[in-house]
Amino acid sequence: MTSNLSGEGIRCTCLVVADHYLCGQAVGGLLSEQCGLELIAVSATVREALEIMNNESPPGLLVLDVVQLQGSWQEAAQTLQRLNPNGRLIMLKARNDDFVAPQEFQPMLLGVIEKSCSWDNLINLVARWQQIHPSPTLRRNAAALEQLQRLAPRELKVFYSLGKGMQNKEIAKSLGICVNTVETYRKTISAKLGLSGVELVRVAVLQRCTNLKV
């Protein structure tokens, strides 16, 4: 994976362009739920993406599946570059593909990721970008992480387990406690960190993926 984290003026919106709509929805949902980006749309064709960018507000982040879109993806990247010079680009490529992004797109490129990689690679890349150009959501998440020292040892274990994607039953089994106790811990952790239930899971995942220091 290659990356370029330069850029200013982050806008917390995202447009995903992927020929395989199910894949695009998965990527868009992940960026929305775990990274707090506002998903404008998931487009199956470059034409749809161009209509969205020209008729609506261009996104802060454009995700392009260069494998399925082949050469047509370049028009989408050029349009973002023209309409939103501060916009950023992530490209998805096939495993072992020797694809290299053209030089003209390097300044706006966050990274090129193999689709065979784990979700963590994508989350980590976006989170690093957000750390450099934090949104209000990220600032709130960072403030919550600064409160981790307030958690008791068992609460920390529950928090880290949530970051691994574990469900309440799995956490209870791993810690040798009942499910009701896990639920109580989650409520206490949410209160101490100032987060809702959904936000708690999101922040726990981001903490694990980015190893944020607090």
Confidence of residue 98 (pLDDT cuts 50, 70, 90): confident
Report pLDDT for 7: 40
Q: What is the pLDDT of residues 33-48, one digit of tens each?
A: 777 788 899 998 899 9
**Locus of tokens 């959904």:** 198
CA distances from 117 to 14, 120, 202 (A): 20, 8, 20
pTM: 0.62
End-to-end CA distance of the chain: 27
Alpha-carbon gap, residue 158 to 186, rounded angstroms: 7
Q: All domains of the chain, ordered by start, with CATH?
A: 2-133 (3.40.50.2300), 139-210 (1.10.10.10)
Alpha-carbon gap, residue 116 to 105, rounded angstroms: 23
Q: What is the pLDDT of residues 129-164, one digit of tens each?
A: 877 665 566 667 777 877 888 999 999 999 999 988
Report pLDDT for 79: 94
